[in-house]
Structure 1
Amino acid sequence: MSTNKTARLHRMVMEKHVCPYGTKSKWLLERHGYTVDDRWLTTREQTDAFKREHDVATTPQTFIDGERIGGYTELRAFLGKPLPDKDSTSYKPVIAVFAIAAGLALAVSHFAFGNAVTIRAAEWFVAFSMAILAMLKLQDVEQFSTMFLGYDLLARRFVPYAYAYPFLEAGAGILMAAHALNWLSIPVALFIGTIGAASVFYAVYIQKRDIKCACVGGSSNVPLGFVSLTENLFMIGMALWMIFRP
C-alpha cells in the first residue's frame, strides 16, 4: 500500500475530553496507509469556530486532497468499510452469546472432568446460554417486555408474564447448571420454552411477520426466526433430557 497518501484530521483533544471518534478516525486512516496531519481542537471555543468555518455540526472531520470527507461514519464509508445501518438486522449478538456459553461449558467440563467434550458440557452449554440471554434481557426489562409483547402469545393475554420471563429463564438456567431443584427448573424451562417456540413459529412461519426478536434484550436487532426458535427448543430439549436422562 502506498505510503505517500496524506489526510488532515481535525479532532477534539481537550484536558477532560478526547473524542473517541477522533481517535478511531486517526487509527483508521493510519491503518489504510495515510500520513495524518493531526490537528487538535483543544478548547470549546476553538471547536465551535471550526464548526462555523466549515459549516459542520460535529467533529472529527477528515480532509483528503483538500476535499472534506466528513466524520467517522463518512470516513468509514469512504474507505470501503461502512458501518451497518442501525436498523438492520443481525445474528451477531446471539452468535456471540452461544459462542461464549460454549466456551464456558467446555472450560468448566475440562476443569471438572479433565475432558472438555462431555455430556455435562452440553448441559452446561444450554444452561449458560439461558442465563446469559436472561442477563441481557434484565438490563432493560421494560424495553424487553415491549418487544416481547409484539409476538409472544401468552404475554399478549397476560402482560405480567412479559416482565417475569427473563427472571424465569435466568432462574431455570442457573438451577439447571447446578442440577438443583429439578422439580422447579424443569417445568419452568419446559413451560417458557414451549410457549416461546409456539409464539415464534406462529409469528414467523404462519403469519410471515418480519419483526425483531427480544431474545438478547429489548434493544437488539436480531430477526425473529430460526435462531429465536432454537433458543426455545434448547430449553425444551434440556427439560426433557433432565426428565428422561439415565
Structure 2
Amino acid sequence: MSASAEPRRAVLYRMVMDKHVCPYGLKAKDLLQRQGFAVEDRWLTSRAETDAFKAQQDVRTTPQVFIGGERIGGYDDLRRHFGKTVADPKATTYRPVAALFAMTALMALAASHAVYGTPFTARAAEWFIGFSMAVLALLKLQNVESFATMFLNYDLLAKRWVPYSYIYPFAEGLAGILMIAGALAWLSVPIALFISLIGAVSVIKAVYVDRRELKCACVGGSSNVPLGFLSLTENVMMVLMALWTAAAATGLVATGM
C-alpha cells in the first residue's frame, strides 16, 4: 500500500474503567472511524490517571481527540471539526411531538390490521387519538411536579386552581384509555371535552393574544417543544375525538370498519 493510501491517523484519549466506559469516547471513536481515520485508542483506566491527563492538557473533560498533533477537543468539538451539527440542549424543537404522533399513528394502523385485517379503518383513527392521549399522559406522569410547574405558565384554570395542574395528566390518561377501549363514553367524553377546551383557550390566549414565547408541557415538563400550533392541535384532536365518541355512543355514527 502506498503512503498516499494510508488512512489518516488520530489519537483518542478516553475513559475505560471497570465500572465506567465513557459513552462520548465511544461516539468519538466511531465518528473518527466513519470519517476514515485510523484511531490510536488510548485508555484512561483510573480516576487518578484521568485527572492527571486533564491537568497535563489543561482540559476539564474527556474524551480528547488529537489530529496531526493538534488537540481538537471532545466529542462536540470533533463534530464541529467535521462540519457536523451539534445539538443545543436549550433549543426548541417539535421533534418529540412529531415522533410521538408518528409512533401512535403506526400503532393505531397496526392494531387495526391485527383486528380487522386492514390498517385503514375508522377505528384506526379513533385509536390514533386515544393512543396519543395515553402516551402524552404517560410522558407527563413521569414527572408530574415538573409538568405542573411548566403547565402553570399558561393554563388558565391551573393558574386559578393549582391542583388542576396535577390532576390533568391523570384525567388525560383516563380519557385516552377509555376511548381506546370504547368504554364508558359518559365519563371519557366530558373529561376530554373539559380539559381540551380549556387547553385550547389557554394556548390561544398565551400564544396568539398575549404573544408569549413559552415551552409546551404537552410531552412533559422537561421538553423544549414550543407552545403554539402543535399544542393547539393536540387539544383540537381531543375535542374532535370526544365529539366522535359521543356521536358513536348515541348511534349517530358507526364505528369499526
Q: Does 1:199 align with 2:202?
A: yes
1:132-175 CA deviation, whole Å, 9 max, x = no partner? 01100001100000000000011000000000000000000000
1:171-186 superposed matches below 5 A: 171-186=174-189
114, 137, 141: which is aligned to 1:138?
A: 141
2:21 is matched with which residue? 18
1:209 is matched with which residue? 212
Q: Which moved more, 1:133-142 or 1:2-11?
A: 2-11
1:77-226 superposed matches below 5 A: 77-226=80-229
Q: By how many angstroms is 1:4 displaced?
A: 2.4
Distance 1:203 1:79 in 2: 41
1:56-67 superposed matches below 5 A: 56-67=59-70
Structure 1 stretches of 4+ with a deviation exceeding 6 A read: none
Distance 1:32 1:59 in 2: 20
1:40 is matched with which residue? 43
2:30 is matched with which residue? 27
Distance 1:108 1:56 in 2: 53
Letter in 2 for 1:240: L
Structure 2 spans left out of the alignment, 5+ residues: none
SS in 2 for 1:221: coil
SS in 2 for 1:82: coil
Structure 1 spans left out of the alignment, 5+ residues: none
2:235 is matched with which residue? 232
Distance 1:18 1:244 in 2: 57
TM-score by length of 1: 0.97
Q: By how many angstroms is 1:3 displaced?
A: 6.0
SS in 2 for 1:38: strand
Contact 1:3 1:33 in 2 (8 A): no
Contact 1:3 1:34 in 2 (8 A): no
Q: Which moved more, 1:62-71 or 1:182-191?
A: 62-71
Identity of aligned residues (%): 62
Q: By how many angstroms is 1:42 displaced?
A: 1.1
Distance 2:136 2:35 in 1: 37
Letter in 2 for 1:109: S
Letter in 1 for 2:70: E
